[in-house]
Structure 1
Amino acid sequence: MDKSSIECSPMTPFLIVSNEICYQLTLVTVVVALAFMASKCSYNVLRQWRTKLTILVLGCDPIGLTTVLIAAKSCKTSKIILLEEKSRKFLVAQPQQVALDARSVQFLKRLDVDFDNIEGCWQDERFCTPLGVLQEYLFSLIERQNVNMEVRLHTKLSKSIIDSLCLSKQRTLIVVCDSSSANWSTLLSINDEFVQESCKLYGAVAKLERMDQQQIPTPEITVNRLNLDLSAYDGEFCIPDSSRLTFHLKIFGTLRHRIIALVCPKSDSNLLRQLRMTANPWIMRNIFQESYNAYRLKTEPRLTDAATRNVKCSHRLFEVKLSYRRENVLFIEEDNIVITMEGHAARSLNLNSGLGVNLGIRALENMNNFITNVSHSDSSAAILETLIRKNKSAIKTSEDFIRGGIHTVMYC
């Protein structure tokens, strides 16, 4: 068949019509598919936008109050309930000083914390302030948030409170920040087991209280590579030690409430072995006295022998350990409740160095994403995936600290 016969074929009009129909069908299919995808995406966006959580925070320490700020700014909450067993008067009167490192300061600034309006002092990029002052400011900042919030002080977690949360059809997120009360672990059926891991350090702590001194924020004093001469004592202190044991000294707190912390790395030193096993409590007292007098602020009075008798201190070096929950999240599917532990409820250090706040705030850096993911999860599998990521993040925070974080936070 030649070219002319093809052009004059009676089948040509049919082929043209078929092509037009296929084109129109394809176009309609594409339009319908795009419309379906657009409507589905719009539905998901609308559903996520409308999804709200009821958030219950247990504990009004800096970790709990910071969690409330994060929740208030997440736009994913229908109601925030803050529960605390103690009174506000007690919380804002706590004298111990905390030092927020540069990372914690920047994180709190993003939550609109104005350090210019907090009584404290700057030390490089660190901010030192009494714990009660910080909590009072966070309270006032929370009260200015335009959210549905209920603050219940002098109130313990009870079964009736949990039952009222279960009656709501909305998903509830419980953030536990208080470790002083054990009733919440029983009521929420949470395993109270902690994992203890060594920070490969040994330390001791002394607390000095002087009521004649002012209760004002004071810069921290840090001394690295401190050598102790204990040759005046008998025993192994007089034996030449081939390994030079160096200590890290930190003096912090207000002038009225001073804390002296001493740590050294784990080693086979004779001096370390003797300080760990000594039965003479005056050895550590004399170490703290001499260290304090040598490195105190010029405005501070010397620590006399008579005053040293009233100093509360460790009698020997102890191993510095971090205790943390291996599992710090929980999902109660039948009640639609998600639980997570933060702050001292999740981890604690057996050295009173002010690190509890810093480490706890560091763990809150992903709390906003966690709240969003919990609210958007539309199935049990999605929630479990969110909890697994949160658990891994919490464990990584603890493990990073164990690998040497105490030096970057405490002895920097």
Structure 2
Amino acid sequence: MKKLILALLLLPTLVLAQHKISGTFSPAASFKTAILYKLEPSNHIYISNADIVNGNFELDLDTTLKPGMYRIVYALPQDQYSFDFIYNNEDIVFRFQQDSGVSFVLSKENKLLTTYKNDMYTVKSKINTFYGSANQNEDDYMACISEMKTIQNQAESASKGMLAHDFIKAEKPYIPTAFEDAPTYFNNYKMNYFNSVDFSNSVLQNSSFLMDSALSYVFIFVDRQYENRSFKKNIDDVVRETTATKSIQKSILEVLWNQFKERKNEEVANYISTKYLEKLLDPVKDEMLITDMKAFRNTAIGAVAPDFSWPSKLGSSKLSTLSGKEYYIVTFWSSTCSHCLEELPVLKAYIHGKSNIQVLAIGLEDERPNWEKTIANYPEFTQIYGINKWENPIPIAYGISGTPSFFVLDKDKKIIAKPNDVEKLITFMDAL
């Protein structure tokens, strides 16, 4: 009876036992703080943070913390300086090295998943090596296929009842049943890429897995001779696979749009926005993204530049009504921007004596006096005061996120270049 009473008294303690995550960061001097987030389908939930002292990190996990995928951020930007892991009511001990990433010392879930990924990576590398070899032995090939099948089956069996099981099943690769030459194998690999991925699986949704899988598909299976055609086809495939999970589809497409925007691939970025993404957006919640997409589309190479007007001696002037020049350079700058103050003199020197170019310099300012003082040095430019800086409608229409920014227009006000800096601007103009 006494043993029974003792067991009952201990039961709440056992059920609510507190777990912790701890580890070492190396080199120690490079790390100061680590922040813990819980991953959810559309955002990251802040959980806690702790200092990294002499490379050592330890954080007690609240007893109410739910199992799932978590992320430790150790620097900014967090998408580059972080690692994900599974928490499922167990202590976790890790080692993190700056040059090689994270390894788990204690955690059944994470050790099993890491081992599976490493083993599968090794056998896939063997297959790639086989296809690159001049002397190909089919027995060696089938041994790799057998090894791949064994790794998958053993990992699925060992992970039953764990969260890792969902990821191991979802990562199951295409496994041939007989010898295939390289083109056949890689074609089948692509065709079967999403066979094991369940976009409606809540465990996968609360992780980066679905996003990573979709992005890998879009960027890996590309014919370099017809890149944009391949990108579009791959995006179509991802949209088809995510038809039943619109929120996941929206998140994936938004990230893809941003990536192609950053790559300055206007054709594919605008394909994503006009064919798919715009239809998924809420006019209120997604107002900023809608504005950004519109600005990016309206300032694509070949598009007529967004029109704008400004006060002048004649009362008002307008971009669309300007005439008499072969080229127009629209530049966004600020009197508080050091790079701008370095590049404007270079632009001034370049256009000196060139009667076929007109520069429209839009100063994004919060206060007028400093702007007026600065523009006195540039009487050759058409100076436009951009009051309210980033809230001014002109930079919004042009999708401006930084200064200086440049747009080159032809005589019909069509955008023919968007150079990153004044040196690239000069190089482009000299090549005309």
TM-score by length of 2: 0.22
Q: Which has the larger radius of gyration?
A: 1
Select the structure with the greater relative contact order (CA < 8 A; seq sep ≥ 6). Answer: 1
Compute the TM-score of the two structures, normalised by the length of structure 1: 0.23
